[in-house]
Amino acid sequence: MAANPMQTLPISVPADLAAKCHFDEGVLYVASDSVLDPKIIDFEMRLQRMGALRRKEQTSLADINARKTPKAAAESRIAAGQELRTALAFLDQGVKMKASDIHFMFRGPVMEVKFRVDGFLDQYAEMPSEEGMRIISALYVSSDVKNAGSFSFNAPIAARVSKGLPDNLYAVRFASMKSDAGGVVVLRLLYNAVASRSYDNKIDLVTLGFSEEQARLLWDMAAAPNGLIVIDGPTGSGKSTTLKYALQWVHEHYPQFNILTVEDPPEYPIVGAQQIPVLVQDSDVEDLSARSRAYGNVINTTLRLDPDILMVGEIRDGVSAISALRAAITGHRLWTTVHANDAWEAVNRIIDLLREAGMVDPMPVLANTQNLTGLIAQRLVPLLCPNCKRPLSEHPDAIEQQTLEELMAAVPNLDPHRVFVRGPGCKHCVPMADTAEQMRADSRRGILGRTVVAEIVRPDQTLLDIARSKGIPDARRFWLKHRNGKVIADNAIEKIVGGLVDPQVARDFVGPLITAAQIVAGSDSELSGGV
């Protein structure tokens, strides 16, 4: 890690906080029951303003006391065993390849290690399952789970590793699940910066892949005085990254705002925000109702800390949905994510969750521009390697016939010289392949980095009135037809036409290439045909 000159300045913990926290080499260690202490949060804000805070770590009082004596601290850095070193070597390799996830798949006597890079999952290594289990156990024991015993697939495990990691990693999320043939462990690598091979240091919503127009819509939402802003998409669609850069933009433009996040656990450090973890990591086993209660409690507690903007990592149950809605209707801006397929479907998802929590009719409350400020759906699509991409005009067979037909129907004046398809691979996109054969075998060949494709709805009162009186599908149709709404495929097609994305890859990742205009034309002819 590049040395931050501020970190070398001696910074001492205020005397009245010394019993609750410890600050060492950019890491603020806080006793678990003092995480919400306003004085600690105050100290943490000061460290952040000084640029001295690398991360915050929750720990026990005993650990804090141990860290205060240099000898104990030295002893706590015990040499890692061989198995842990192997596990960390996989992480090192993952970082080198800019992988987003590492999968360990146990199938009978064999364990396969696979890396996901730019959305593609590829085999990297293979070893006997017995040895694999020892490596996974060592990593699990080193996780933040208190008293982590030996690892087994008997119950699903959700843990987090934050010690001893390569410098570029903030943390690693560890998840395991039993399978027919054995089991699978997935490590999600949480990078300090965005885990993509195409991004430089300066990252904003446009470099993530949002169009200028979409970024303006997002900034407009961010400037609204209150209400819910909901980002949706499947796991791995980059929702947390968008949240991070949206909130950092808010901090840059409205430095006076108090931004708090409630996450389980925090995924990325967010400049300018106080990140409050939900404390449900003590148990190995996922206890969903305990987790949901803890989440709801932390949201409610956080509201007492006077936030202007609250980010709730994910709304996944009725308790957190109710708490989030309460925050939004009491004058807070609330950013959150849900699992849904398109922007409008997020409203249905929230309504379902609110009903689950006992709210009989959530629609009148939601269908108000004061309370529902923005809906964003997004996916990540692999980008073409600019060094070896090839024009579609010379390689029409590189994409399937159906994809070509969809593309020509969506873009009648398509110029096949400006649309590009994946190349054969080169030293930029497949740096580890030595021969042409190895390049061909690598499913990432011709791909370099990923980009966001999105659809964004800024609801106005007319749209919300339609949603309330006629339902979400009618509101969506009205939005497409009369508000010039653009769907995810529109955004993907723009990038295909711009030569940034391979048409086939786009279709594989976002589905049929059908524009909003085509949807409107289709539903109009359906309606007139029905008369």
List contacts with Zn ion (CB under 5 A).
Answer: 385, 387-388, 426, 428-429
Select 156 or 431, whichever has its Cβ closest to Zn ion.
431
Select 339 or 428, whichever has its Cβ closest to Zn ion.
428
Select 14 or 498, whichever has its Cβ closest to Zn ion.
498
Least distance between Zn ion and beta carbon 386 (Å): 8
DSSP H or E run through 454: strand 447-457
Least distance between Zn ion and beta carbon 381 (Å): 17
Least distance between Zn ion and beta carbon 385 (Å): 3
Least distance between Zn ion and beta carbon 448 (Å): 6
Least distance between Zn ion and beta carbon 439 (Å): 9
How many other CB atoms are there within 10 angstroms of residue 364's CB atom? Answer: 9
Burial class of 518 by CB neighbour count within 10 A (0 to 12, 13 to 18, 19+): middle
Residue whose Cβ sits closest to Zn ion: 385
Give the pairing type, strands 227-232 and 372-384. parallel
Least distance between Zn ion and beta carbon 498 (Å): 18
Nearest alpha-carbon partner for 507 in 461, 468, 453: 453
Select 23 or 420, whichever has its Cβ closest to Zn ion.
420
What backbone torsions phi and psi does residue 445 show, to the nearest 5 degrees? -55, 135
Nearest alpha-carbon partner for 32 in 303, 307, 277: 277
Select 424 or 522, whichever has its Cβ closest to Zn ion.
424
> Crossing angle, helix 472-482 and helix 461-470, to 10 degrees?
140
Least distance between Zn ion and beta carbon 391 (Å): 15
CA distance 241 to 237: 9
Select 167 or 437, whichever has its Cβ closest to Zn ion.
437
Least distance between Zn ion and beta carbon 425 (Å): 6
CA distance 283 to 278: 13
Select 238 or 382, whichever has its Cβ closest to Zn ion.
382
Spell out the residues 6+ positions from residue 529 whose beta carbon is closer than 8 angstroms to its own. Answer: none
> What is the total residue count of the chain?
531
Select 285 or 436, whichever has its Cβ closest to Zn ion.
436
What's the Cα-to-Cα distance from 331 to each of 312, 336, 457, 465, rounded to whole Å? 16, 16, 21, 21
